[in-house]
Amino acid sequence: MARIDFPKDFVWGTATASYQIEGAYQEDGRGLSIWDTFSHTPGKVFNNDNGDIACDSYHRYEEDVALLKKLGVTAYRFSIAWPRIFPQGTGEVNEKGLEYYRKVVDALLEAGIEPCVTLYHWDLPQALQDKGGWDNRDTIDAFVKYAEVVFKAFDGKIKQWITFNETWCVSFLSNYIGLHAPGNTDLQLAINVAHHCMVAHGEAVKKFRALGIRGEIGTTHNLSWCEPYSKSAEDVAAAHRNRAFNNEWFMEPTFKGTYPQFMVDWFASKGAKVPVLPGDMETIAQKIDFIGVNYYSGGFGRYKKGDGLFDCEEVQIGFDKTYMDWNVYAEGLYKVLSWVHEEYGDTPIYITENGACYEDVLAEGNRVHDTLRTDYYKKHFIQCHRLVESGVPLKGYFAWSLLDNFEWAEGYRKRFGIVYTNYETLERYPKDSYYFIQDVIKNGGFEA
Ligand code: GCO
């Protein structure tokens, strides 16, 4: 047993996203988003679940804030639903939408919790999708307009801003793999979407600076770690392609204003190319104040011709798995963030999501003894500590998620919360992992 202590100013938080928790999908003038369309299309989401009600946080945010306060976090990451602010994506601002987030932000500040806001966590107004969505460069302008309205409305109150959550999911998962809204399966389209989202990120950062908005701005990429199964050149290259799909493809433009050439060539061999216009790369590489990283899993890869997009086969080497069937690979977190530091320098890093899905059982007294999830957190906290000790500028950690919520294509069957949501009554019950994190925060660390 060794004691693990975190720096006094280490930021502890939890994270959620609008469509996953809010519900109230037709209330106070909210427009429809691509997730309303997708989830209402039979067969797209497990059990045909949708976010119409979700955790009803639109009406129960005070309860959520009370849970956060009791947990002891100093920050809360949530996202703003674009279609609440601009129901049609552009045009008239819906004041009632802003009003809701004012109430949330004020409640958080009152509780001594810093709001960390994501501008785009996947709920694109359907009206914009109807005109091509992120494939259409006009969506970039619409995003910057939306960002501007929100920046001005919350200037000085929100000090940490994230433009995009997981551009990989927005692009490849949603437009090539097709598992998320809008559900397309076209590689060229996915590459266009990724590029346009990154340009929109850069334009929003420029706007933030030009307006002199107080606070910090960054973006969040979901990184993972694919370790080569052997030292053979083929395995090393295959694992690298696999990693670069999540990591370099997004990190290189963000920090260096270039795309990794070996990946550009690889995509070209599949008939796809990046639609770069003059000035785009400079726009994308605007200096950011921090980088958000979402990390859940990783694994081992080896060369296998024809396996997936990258001729890379995932090798099962006996990792424990979560209920998502994702490997528990805490050391991958250490590896990937060490790599970020080495490759991209001293920009502060926040883990903006990390957490695990397990099959929870509601036990006597409305308790959930989620030992596996608590264990997952412990393992990852140990790696966070290792990172801090080794000089990686890791400044904070947001657990995914505050509460069980609408897990996208998996509907409600996959629970990631440290608080249990009873979807019949909408009551919330803290799980054992909640109390573990509460102790870690209170004591500034734990006995590992
Ligand atoms: C994500 C999303 C979350 C998910 C979580 C678990 O970042 O993928 O931000 O909304 O719920 O990752 O899959």
Segment 65-88, tens digit of pLDDT: 999 999 999 999 999 999 999 999
pLDDT in tens, 17-67: 999 999 999 999 999 999 999 999 999 999 999 999 999 999 999 999 999
Q: What is the pLDDT of residue 48?
A: 98
3-state secondary structure string, 320-375? CECCCCCECCHHHHHHHHHHHHHHHCCCCEEEEECCCCCCCCCEHHHECCCHHHHH
CA of 166 to the centre of ligand 1 (A): 8
In angstroms, rounded to a whole number, what is the distance separating the alpha carbons of residues 308 and 298? 16
Mean pLDDT for the chain overall: 98
* CATH code reported for the domain at 3-447: 3.20.20.80
Grade residue 139 by pLDDT with cuts at 50, 70 and 90: very high
Nearest CA to ligand 1 atom 9: 165
pLDDT in tens, 401-429: 999 999 999 999 999 999 999 999 999 99
CA distances from 109 to 68, 69, 212, 418 (A): 12, 11, 22, 22
Query: For ligand 1, what atom is nearest to the CA of residue 405?
Result: 11
- Contact, 346 vs 326, CB < 8 A? no
Ligand 1 cavity residues, CB under 6 Å:
17, 20, 165-166, 169, 222, 294, 353, 400, 407, 416
Residue 243, sorted as left (phi over 0), alpha (psi -120 to 50) or beta, turns out to be alpha
Query: For ligand 1, what atom is nearest to the CA of residue 416?
Result: 6
- Catalytically active residues are 166, 353
Structure tokens at 220: 């969040």
For the beta carbon of residue 343, count every other beta carbon within 10 angstroms: 13
Is 326 annotated to bind ligand? no
pLDDT in tens, 246-277: 999 999 999 999 999 999 999 999 999 999 99
Is 296 annotated to bind ligand? yes
CA of 121 to the centre of ligand 1 (A): 9
Is 122 annotated to bind ligand? no
Structure tokens at 15: 């994270």
Nearest CA to ligand 1 atom 10: 17
Token pair 């925060």: residue = 441
pLDDT in tens, 342-400: 999 999 999 999 999 999 999 999 999 999 999 999 999 999 999 999 999 999 999 99
pLDDT in tens, 91-115: 999 999 999 999 999 999 999 999 9
Instruction: Name the DSSP letter for residue 224.
Output: -
The domain ranges of the chain are: 3-447
Nearest CA to ligand 1 atom 1: 166
Query: For ligand 1, what atom is nearest to the CA of residue 296?
Result: 12
C-alpha of 343 from chain center: 21
Residues constituting the chain: 448
CA distances from 105 to 99, 212, 416 (A): 10, 20, 24
In the predicted model, is pLDDT for residue 1 greater than 80? no
